Structure 1
Amino acid sequence: EPLTAYLEKDPQVKDAVGMMAMRKNSEIAPLSEYVPYGLTVNVNPVMVVIDKEILEHYGQAIPDYENWTMQDIMEIAKATTGTDPVTGKQTYGMSMIAAASANKNYIWASRAVNNDIYEWGDSLKNTKVNFVNDKTKEVFNYLTELSSYASPDYIEGLDMANAYTQDNNLAMFIIEDVYSAYNTIKAAGLEDKYMLAALPKIEDGEFKGITSSHMGDWNMAICNTSTQKDLAWEFMKFMVMDDVVQQWILDTYCIPANKEASGKLGEYMPADYADPISYVVSTSPLEFSASANNCYDSSNFGTFANDLTTVLNEMFQGNMDADAAMEYVKKNLDDYMSTLN
């Protein structure tokens, strides 16, 4: 059930949360608008874990995540790939989100450069996807270069075997399971060794200055055949607004979508972890998620996620360049769009 009318009736709910489950649906609203269909209860923001010891060994300053850039990440990754000057061990500068989900790296990188590829029409079949452009090429080349500072085990998903340990050899790694990662670090007694950071800010456009970190979520929706829609809404409000529920979410190692509640993470973890998480939750636009945003929409466009994962992994292994990758994805997008007509 679309929640637009409910949110108009209770605007404080929309103001309270840092993310909502939103999609585009031409049967409900113009495709230029997002339709809220679920209230997000808790979130999983994409974050960067930084091994402060490795950076220190290479003489790299701890980054200011509220102001660092994509180029800063690249330079740190390059500088920390090699033989650790202190330990003599091989280290790698970056592990991105797992190669099996490489499309999610495209999401944050394309958001960072504001690669808005959509011209929304009255319906999906009248929508244009301008995927082949200079910014897409920039994103592909950036991620490919960044992958050159990853462990050879990255493609197989084995490079994280020693992550969160004293023997970790990754200067930075991008993750989606933030609270679980923190608990692992805490259990190992390594809270001082690591820290979290948000991904760089979006460089230009409507959302300039907002972090490119997107969020996954756990949300609640109203069944559109329900005979008790108003009661369902009251329960959903309870789950995102009630103070006791927010305390319960925090106590069960989850990150509340409620912005005020996420600001209390400092009672559960050091500032190096709590502050970056709260920063992402409190500043991210409501419509930016891992499934739908102004640069990426896997809910409306067929095999988009799989195609991106395929070409990125081919590029990471040197089997494809950016131009070939763009043409591969474009062909599948065009084939999909043609089926709508």
Structure 2
Amino acid sequence: MQKVEVQLGERSYSIYISDNFNGLDAGIAACKQVVIVSNPTVAALYLSQAQALFSAANVQHFLLPDGEAFKTLSSFEQVLSFLLEQRMSRDVLLVALGGGVIGDLTGFVAACYQRGVSFLQIPTTLLSQVDSSVGGKTAVNHPLGKNMIGAFKQPVQVLINTAVLASLPSREFAAGMAEVIKYALISDAGFFRWLQQHQQLIQQLDPDTLAQMIQHCCRMKADIVSRDETEQGERALLNLGHTFGHAIEAHLGYGEWLHGEAVAAGMVMASELAVSRGWLTTTELEETKALLRAFSLPVTAPENMRITDFLPYMKTDKKVKHGTMRFVLPTAFCQSAVVDDVTETELTEVFGHGYN
């Protein structure tokens, strides 16, 4: 078992990484009121194992439909209604058993129910294991923008079981690899080379390789979150590719493209902007594309999207300050920064009126 600490003072917590569901802190396992939030797909595989982690006589559960399309205020209200109907107190522990949708939504419920209750993350997708389960960002989507309604709410623990990745559809695993590659492109050329060298072992789901990869990503994110919990500065770098990616998701309709797929295309678009500014070479851009393609990820935006389709979403992106769009762009190979001088004219010049 591997352990990563997220240092946030009184709200610090541990991330445990192993090939099973062991590692739950004794105090958490002893909670008297437990509600597991999941979806039918994940529950059929892992609900009984999650229930067995707790000593409470009655571990209840609430299932939401599967998919990004259900990460909504309506689903948020359904979970709240269930908690109220079951007369759950402020001592209840909410357990997010699933991917990023379940984790984000459950965390938001935990932030709001009776002004805040505890929640545990048990992420079951690669994307949620390396990214969304760590750091306390919780939210639901709105037709006008992704993750625009939410709160910062840290979990009490993150329990990562790498063995569940064997049951993950290949497309979902690939989507998670987009977030893995993101960590390398932000600030870690050595990790980029490691991913290149270990492509085959990763694709074969080699347990030791997966554990090493996930631990590295979690440690990178934990370090950044510990320094900048509420994204006042450095944490914004974790949004590389997301300004473009969120626009893709919102424009197409949530769930049409997986989040990781949209982020992959978004990272390429950000890299293309960097090439136009002379910050990145075309060779480095092609290397980035090659690694994304190796994991069956898209390297262009949807064919039917024009740059004018991106702009409305970019202008309401959470990084916008004082009406100015801000982007995370590579400033060199595997280095990045937040920039606030990208104009609509520049976007049109780089991508044309039609992206492809």
Query: What's the TM-score, normalizing by structure 2?
Result: 0.27
Q: Which has the higher helix share?
A: 2
Query: What's the TM-score, normalizing by structure 1?
Result: 0.28
Higher relative contact order (CA 8 A, sep 6+): 1
